[in-house]
C-alpha cells in the first residue's frame, strides 16, 4: 500500500491489526470524553487535558500491543489519567517554578489584602471605642438596629416607644457617632 492509500485513521497491515484498531477505537469512543473531562476538571486547561488524554490512550495501546489484558478498561484509563494529571502538576512545578511576583500581584484573592484588612480592623476598633463613649441609650438603639438588624417596629416594641421616637433616637445617635468619626479625618475616606 502506498502513502496515498491509507485509511483515514491509520494504515492497516493485517486483519488482526484491523480488529485491534477497531477495538481500540471503540474503547476511545466510549471513554475518551470521560478521561478528558477528568483531566480538564483537575487543571481547567483544554491543552493539558488533550495531552494527558492522548498519553493515557497511548499507554493503553502499548499495553494491548504487549499482549497484556485489561479487565476493566474504564477503571484502568481513569487511574492512569489521574496519575498522569498528578505527575503533570509535579513536573510543571519543577519545570516552571513559581510565577513572577508581578503576575501573582494581579491575581485577585478571596480575602482583602493585608493593608485593607489592617485598615478595616483599626476602623472597627475606633468605632467600638466611639460607641463606648456614646450614652447607653444611643448604644442600645444603634446595636438593636445595626448589630442585631431589628426593624424599626421591632425596636419600638422592644423599647416600649412609638415608631417616630425610634426614628428620632436613631437619627440623633447616628449624628453623634458621625460627629466623633468626623474628627478622625481622612481615615475612612
Does this model's pTM top 0.75? My answer is no
Tell me the per-residue pLDDT of 21-73, one tens digit each, with 9 for 90 and over: 888 999 999 999 999 999 998 888 889 899 999 999 999 999 999 988 889 99
Tell me the per-residue pLDDT of 60-70, one tens digit each, with 9 for 90 and over: 999 999 988 88
From CA 83, how far away is CA 77, in angstroms rounded?
10
Tell me the per-residue pLDDT of 162-182, one tens digit each, with 9 for 90 and over: 999 999 999 999 999 888 888
Distance between first and last Cα of the chain: 80
Tell me the per-residue pLDDT of 112-134, one tens digit each, with 9 for 90 and over: 777 888 888 887 788 788 888 88
From CA 47, how far away is CA 42, in angstroms rounded?
12
**High-pLDDT (> 90) share of the chain, %:** 34
Selection from 86, 93, 92, 90 nearest residue 39 by Cα = 86
Cβ atoms of 61 and 70 closer than 8 Å = no
Q: What's CA 76's distance to the chain center, in Å? A: 29
Amino acid at each position: 500500500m502506498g502513502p496515498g492509500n491509507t485509511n483515514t485513521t491509520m494504515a492497516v497491515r493485517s486483519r488482526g491489526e484491523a480488529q485491534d484498531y477497531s477495538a481500540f477505537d471503540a474503547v476511545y469512543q466510549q471513554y475518551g470524553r470521560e478521561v478528558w473531562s477528568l483531566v480538564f476538571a483537575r487543571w481547567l486547561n483544554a491543552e493539558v487535558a488533550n495531552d494527558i488524554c492522548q498519553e493515557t490512550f497511548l499507554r493503553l495501546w502499548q499495553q494491548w500491543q504487549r499482549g497484556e489484558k485489561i479487565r476493566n478498561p474504564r477503571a484502568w484509563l481513569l487511574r492512569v489519567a489521574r496519575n498522569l494529571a498528578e505527575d503533570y502538576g509535579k513536573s510543571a512545578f519543577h519545570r516552571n517554578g513559581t510565577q513572577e511576583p508581578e503576575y501573582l500581584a494581579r491575581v485577585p484573592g478571596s480575602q482583602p489584602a493585608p493593608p485593607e484588612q489592617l485598615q478595616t480592623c483599626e476602623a472597627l476598633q475606633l468605632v467600638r471605642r466611639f460607641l463606648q463613649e456614646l450614652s447607653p441609650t444611643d448604644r442600645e438603639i444603634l446595636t438593636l438596629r445595626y448589630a442585631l438588624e431589628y426593624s424599626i417596629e421591632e425596636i419600638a416594641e422592644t423599647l416600649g416607644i412609638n415608631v417616630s421616637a425610634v426614628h428620632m433616637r436613631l437619627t440623633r445617635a447616628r449624628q453623634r457617632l458621625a460627629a466623633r468619626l468626623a474628627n478622625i479625618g481622612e481615615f475612612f475616606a
